[in-house]
Structure 1
């Protein structure tokens, strides 16, 4: 077990990645832990974990994924394919002067972390997955699957595919859209059973925000927190973030050689009991003995929604620190 080091102030810096600038924030010293955020977030999603992991004896680093925040935003849609984001993960470790790291991701970051560990086990010695379970590459073409979902309703991933369409909904009122989206997937503000599902839109001119809760923020999100998120997307626009969804078929093709491949490193999963990602992907969780044979820590937090490390920071921090401390020591 690592002896905790005194937590230091957050340190902002930029490194040169394959597509240009990668902005990161780090805290602490010790073995490197890379934290990868999801949609529609930023490094700030890990604000509760950085000091906790630093206090536990780790060098915790949270980056803005390309297309977000102060990282570069390439113009080409295919610049956001998974293989490119994996190379960003590798470049980050190398630029920090390390040979290996633990990588932990949430939402899309969970997928980025998983595929980084799958493709580069020599670098990523362990992988933590929050909210979105690991499902090995393979199966039917993703956009074909999503197009069949929902009947007369359109699944949000399909809605995001056409460049400019979702941006036209989000960008005129970024702050209001983010507030509604965060509330829609949070345990204390999400729609109740029987209300319209915010993961879908009406095919006849509907918008996602039509189904968002209105009037209050989830308990984990302060007005100041929302200001941070909104300020970033008001400056950058939403296209860089949405381009991740527009590469799912490319990822399916790129990763075909890894169809069905397990991740063998030590792994962790933490999901929310009220998160659709956990319930819709229950089969993926049940398959963990085959797909994550190195799984050493798995938890479903009851009464938690999708934004798990922000909704339940103390529990998540405790689980992460215990898991990290259980890993074999670095050389």
Structure 2
């Protein structure tokens, strides 16, 4: 019941904005590019869906932030000779590509990139705190740690989540749940077992 109360307050009560800004990053940062309606669609449309998914998995598995130089687009940052990450197989790629061929990239671009841009920030009631235990699993090689606004380091999450446990997997990348599923599953199982539901 407390979770529903918090959700209702989040949706309907007066709120304070938490600004979302990517201003410190270059124009070529992938989020800045993908927020612009039509730009990613043109970039992606130069290649078949399988090549787009391949490029995204290659780029986002690295520890460097995907930033395109002037005159280049995000899809130009990886070429066909770059191998897939060892944990992402050609079979995985074919399955993912078939799903994107069926449904397209519109929704993945809308949420979160363009919705985040349109919101101008996240509205949060000033005294809202998440009461339930929360587990955040992150890969330590995730490029997102190089973002100038690192909300974890700034303590913003801890302000709103009273019982927050953050676990880092040293070799984990941005796709840590796909890269190391057994390790992630064990962390989730341990967390659930250590926080039994009161009936």
Structure with greater helix percent: 2
Aligned pairs (5 A) from 1:19-34:
none
Shift of 1:118: 5.4
Shift of 1:176: 1.0
Taking structure 1 as the reference length, the TM-score comes to: 0.50
Confirm or deny: 8 A CA contact 1:198 1:208 kept in the other structure: no
Is 1:312 matched with 2:187? no
State the distance in 2 between where 1:259 and 1:220 align: 42
Confirm or deny: 8 A CA contact 2:2 2:131 kept in the other structure: no
Taking structure 2 as the reference length, the TM-score comes to: 0.79
Shift of 1:329: 2.0
Q: Structure 1 regions of 5+ residues with no counterpart? A: 1-98, 102-115, 122-136, 192-196
State the distance in 1 between where 2:88 and 2:153 align: 28
Q: How many residues of Structure 1 are paired with residues of Structure 2 in the alignment?
A: 188
Confirm or deny: 8 A CA contact 1:198 1:211 kept in the other structure: no
State the distance in 2 between where 1:227 and 1:249 align: 31
Secondary structure in 2 aligned to 1:300? strand
Instruction: Please name the residue that 2:32 is paired with.
Output: 158
Is 1:233 matched with 2:100? yes
Shift of 1:147: 4.0
Aligned pairs (5 A) from 1:39-118:
none
Q: Residue 161 of structure 2 is aligned with which of 285, 289, 292?
A: 292
Q: Which has the higher contact order (CA 8 A, sep 6+)?
A: 2
Confirm or deny: 8 A CA contact 1:138 1:260 kept in the other structure: no
State the distance in 2 between where 1:154 and 1:117 align: 41
State the distance in 2 between where 1:320 and 1:139 align: 28
Q: Structure 2 regions of 5+ residues with no counterpart? A: 10-15
RMSD between aligned residues: 3.0
Aligned pairs (5 A) from 1:1-331:
119=7, 138-140=17-19, 142=20, 145-150=21-26, 153-171=27-45, 172-186=47-61, 190=62, 197-204=64-71, 206-212=72-78, 214-244=81-111, 245-252=113-120, 255-258=122-125, 261-280=128-147, 282-285=150-153, 287=155, 288-295=157-164, 297-331=165-199
Confirm or deny: 8 A CA contact 2:68 2:74 kept in the other structure: yes
State the distance in 2 between where 1:146 and 1:282 align: 11
Shift of 1:272: 0.6
Instruction: Please name the residue that 1:32 is paired with.
Output: none
Shift of 1:238: 1.1
Instruction: Please name the residue that 1:19 is paired with.
Output: none
State the distance in 1 between where 2:59 and 2:188 align: 26
Shift of 1:282: 4.1
Shift of 1:290: 2.6
Structure with greater strand percent: 1
